[in-house]
Amino acid sequence: MPNAGIFAGTARRCLITIAVAFGLLLPTGSVALAQGETANVLMFSGTTGYRHGGGNEAIQPDVVDAIQDQLADAGMTSDYHTCNGTGTGGGALPGCRNETEGTPAIFTEENLADYDAIFFWQASSQFRGQPATGPLFNAAERAAIEGFVNDGGGIAAMHASMTMAAGDVTWDWWDAPGDSAIGALMPGHSATDVNNVATVEVSDRNHPSTRDLPDSWEFGDEHYTFSSNVRGTHHVLMTLDEESYDLGSGVTSMGADHPIAWCRLYDGGKIWGTSLGHFAESFRENDFDNELMTHLVGGVAWAAGVQGQLGDCGGTVWSNFSRTVLTDDVNGPIGLDVSTEGDVYFTEIGAQGIDSEGRLRMYDASSGETETLLEIPTRADYQSSNAGVLGMALDPDFEENRHLYVYYSPRVSQAASNCDDPAPNCVADNSWIPWHNVVSRFTLNAAGDDVVEDSEQEILRVRKVAVGDNNQDGLPPSTYSAHQGGALSFDGDGNLYLGTGDDVDPFGDSGNYAPIDQRFEERYDARNTSASTNDLRGKILRITPLDDAEGEAELGETYEVPDGNMFEPGQPQTRPEIYAMGFRNPFTVHADPANPGTVVVGEYAPDAGSDSATRGPAGAIEWDHITEPGFHGWPLCAADNSAANSYNRYEFPSGPSGDRFDCSADEIPNESEFQTGLDEIPGPAVPADIWSKPSGTPERFNIPNARDEANTGPIYDYDPSNPSETKWPPTTTARG
């Protein structure tokens, strides 16, 4: 990893990502109403553009009555005004301006002073391609609305109101792309069909408009696609799964991240909007007791500042973060964790070499100084072997026990090894190289600013491929070993997750495709590492370090394994430490503190730049959201693990090529004669949640074709006892 500055902010440990992090500066919105007060809402569905009032469209008397009744039940009085300037279906009719009751003329500073929120329900302005209809609001009315928000008022907007001019800018303050109230245009939508059912995915489990909804639910609508993604300027509340419905002809995909409801603190007040709600029957479903009505009432209540309806909309807005440089004197920062005291601990891999050295370092929040706590001798036999000091994690009870865990490549001589072991642990001519990485626990002093001497306790060893002047394969001299992985992360039950890389040589006769060279026991064949149920490499391991660990690293002595891993302790030809397997280089691994067993993984790609009919697919990077044990494919398949993304059997060194591996089987054969695990891997292989490769990245992901890096960040763990004024709120549901 190249030298880079380390950045961090003042929030809890899970706000900090490897290399870059931010301190949260939450803006304040309008003040919530005091207990017992009633909010007053102006509900408006005036139109000079397309009016959603024909047939089964939303603007129907019974729907209006039901909305007002439910607003009242939630502590809000409401006045409803409407006017139709176009006639059903649109048209060049200026009627809204010729009426008195309900016209936009009610939007004056004096009138708006009586309200806590405006609810634009199906309001629409000059329709795209119909200039004769005129704008819904004139300059004075726009100024009054903006002034209302400036004074702390809230606006809720639904369906047509999110795109008043149907793809054109209504006025810059409201819906211009970027830094505006809505922040995006709607240039297209799916077919207007209530039977076009999409999966709605809730992103925020705390906001009043989404907290009472299921994690995902089915909804038929005229689904909007927006011109740009508002994430970063607005706080996203819900998204659509584009694979679950018919996007529509001529509509450009937004990809895997398709927001449809969001909010923001804007210009002194609050803005909430949702694109749902075209059809009257959607409101009427189950006698108006349904997800849409729950969503609507919660959104309006939040905009109106109703007591008990608080929800923060600044926690994922980039402008609310600041960046602080902790140090620019680093040598390959890899792992990072932050104590509740605000101190930042991080590891540096160090320069690669036989006599290399990495560091454990600390940024002291009280002094603002960065210091080195420990220099760790390592051995990295190849200039890009990724060996050295790797990941780290603080113990969940770090503030009490001062334990931290580091994964590294120890520098060990032959004299220090057990030379009664067969190769590759020892070789005859003193050219031994380290055959393991180790998870070690170190203890700091009470202040947390120094390592207690001789406090290292090994917890777990992970075997490495043997390379050197001689090795178990009898090959010419070589010093190549590949991916070490090394990310560490704890869950809320005290289980430690470790991502280990598949360290076989990915080059040579493999041609940058899957290294499955049948001639060798391990150095060129990942079937004997990642795909072996009896090897710890190419895995996500899950163990529970023992508080009283001592002696040599061993199951039952320094760690236990929790229930629910992939294999039970004692099962022949398996390792019980394995939680998930079949990875090439799971470089970032983050456990969900609140949901043990949930892990997000960023997986680096193989080096092949193009698909091959005789070898297999181009290298694919992956993002995996793991919730249960499983085989993830490497080195037999990748990405979605389809036939197109499976590798060919191949007779090394020069062929012939055979058929492709079938990763859809319930039992997937491991055909290597050297592998020591089960002959059948439990399948089918689990596809990546998101993936990309140099060609053929699905359009739905809306990411560039690439095979470089796939990083994941920590899953936020809200701690109500944390006294920090800049901590994130309990708003978002973690996603991979």
For the ranges 90-99, 131-140, 556-565, 647-656, the lowest mean pLDDT is seen at 90-99
- On whether residue 292 sits in a domain, the answer given is yes
In the three-class reduction of DSSP (H, G, I as helix; E, B as strand; rest coil), residue 528 is classed as helix
| Same domain, residue pair 272 and 390 | no
| Same domain, residue pair 299 and 418 | no
pLDDT at 307 (0 to 100)? 73
Judged against a pLDDT cut of 90, whether residue 466 lies above it is answered with no
| Same domain, residue pair 404 and 295 | no
pLDDT at 381 (0 to 100)? 65
| Same domain, residue pair 478 and 382 | yes
pLDDT in tens, 379-393: 776 655 688 899 999
- On whether residue 732 sits in a domain, the answer given is no
Query: How many structural domains comprise the chain?
Result: 2
| Same domain, residue pair 297 and 368 | no
**Overall residue count recorded for the chain in this entry:** 736
Distance, CA of 170 to CA of 157 (rounded, Å): 14
- On whether residue 329 sits in a domain, the answer given is no
| Same domain, residue pair 295 and 399 | no
pLDDT in tens, 273-310: 999 999 999 999 999 999 999 999 999 999 999 976 77
For the ranges 75-89, 409-423, 600-614, the lowest mean pLDDT is seen at 409-423
- On whether residue 31 sits in a domain, the answer given is no
Residue type, 462: V
| Same domain, residue pair 440 and 300 | no
Closest-CA residue to 71 (of 296, 312, 272, 263): 296
- On whether residue 550 sits in a domain, the answer given is yes
Mean pLDDT of all residues in 452-459: 97
Contacts of 593 (CB under 8 A, 6+ apart): 14, 490, 491, 492, 715, 717
- On whether residue 377 sits in a domain, the answer given is yes
Give the containing element (helix H, strand E) for 327: strand 324-327
| Exposure on the CB side of residue 32, measured as CA atoms within 13 A | 13
Judged against a pLDDT cut of 50, whether residue 427 lies above it is answered with no
Judged against a pLDDT cut of 90, whether residue 679 lies above it is answered with yes
Across all residues in the chain, what is the average pLDDT? 85
Supply the CATH number for residue 691's domain. Answer: 2.120.10
Domain holding 62, by residue range, is: 39-188+262-304
pLDDT at 462 (0 to 100)? 94
| Same domain, residue pair 288 and 379 | no
Distance, CA of 64 to CA of 45 (rounded, Å): 10
Confidence of residue 93 (pLDDT cuts 50, 70, 90): very low
Q: Specify burial of residue 723 (Cβ count, 10 A radius: 0-12, 13-18, 19+).
A: exposed
Supply the CATH number for residue 167's domain. Answer: 3.40.50.880
| Same domain, residue pair 546 and 447 | yes
For the ranges 240-249, 253-262, 701-710, the lowest mean pLDDT is seen at 701-710
- On whether residue 125 sits in a domain, the answer given is yes
| Same domain, residue pair 510 and 593 | yes
Q: What percent of the chain has pLDDT over 90?
A: 64
| Same domain, residue pair 275 and 400 | no
Judged against a pLDDT cut of 50, whether residue 430 lies above it is answered with no
- On whether residue 246 sits in a domain, the answer given is no
| Same domain, residue pair 266 and 344 | no
- Domain-terminating residue out of 304, 320, 355: 304
Closest-CA residue to 502 (of 519, 520, 527): 527
